[in-house]
Amino acid sequence: MNNRIEEILKETGALLNGHFLLSSGRHGNQYMQCAKILQRPRYAAEMTEPLAGAFAGDGVDLVLSPAVGGIIVGYELARQLDIENMFAERENGVMTLRRGFVIEPGSRILIAENVITTGGTVREVMKIADEMGAETVGVAVLVDRSMGGIDFGVKLRAAYTADIKSWEAENCPLCHENHIPLVKPGSRNI
């Protein structure tokens, strides 16, 4: 499957090279612009199909995603699993449910995200589910930049695992050596 996903990444131009400020605050030499993939519904379906299959037998009631990057991933997973879909968004810097979304206590939740590096945003969404009395049963992501290095305490599945380097800002070689301009393509503050 990784070969096919690499074809999709090349065809869509989703893997960018440069000097990037990631949502985690870390700096990276590559950025995975999943919006380039998700603008084509057939690729969204193709990349999420194995993820939906991985959670099909887990009794998931609802897919919950962080805005903005996880919305389409969550929608497509929910469509394939034939369950409800909701998204959380930032309000005053805090991830929250808005738009009248309510998670019923006891619901079994699948968190969906486009890319994880440190897992901070996923943990914020998991906290929402926990505070509403729901149980997070898994995390599904298109791209895992951590190479499986994040433990959410639940099943984690990624369509693609990538060894993309990132550094704390003070240790970033791109800042210190190459003077390549820093770009922030993500949507964390939206």
pLDDT, residue 189, reads 52
> Model confidence over 97-121: pLDDT tens digits?
999 999 999 999 999 999 998 899 9
Domains and CATH numbers, the chain: 2-178 (3.40.50.2020)
pLDDT, residue 190, reads 46
Single-letter amino acid, residue 95: M
pLDDT, residue 91, reads 93
From the list 118, 141, 143, 166, the residue with the least C-alpha distance to 2 is 143
H helices present in the chain, as ranges: 2-12, 35-38, 41-55, 71-81, 120-131, 173
On whether the CB atoms of residues 73 and 112 are closer than 8 A, the answer is yes
pLDDT, residue 178, reads 67
**C-alpha span between 26 and 33 (Å, rounded):** 16
pLDDT, residue 164, reads 81
| Distances 84 to 16, 43, 120, 136 between C-alpha atoms, Å | 33, 21, 24, 15
pLDDT tens, residue order, the chain (190 aa): 678 888 998 899 998 888 999 878 889 888 888 999 999 999 999 999 999 999 999 999 999 999 999 999 999 999 999 999 999 999 998 999 999 999 999 999 999 999 998 899 999 999 999 999 999 999 999 999 888 889 999 999 999 998 888 899 999 998 877 677 888 876 555 4
**C-alpha span between 54 and 138 (Å, rounded):** 10
pLDDT, residue 177, reads 74
Is 57 buried (19+), middle (13-18) or exposed (0-12) by CB count in 10 A? exposed
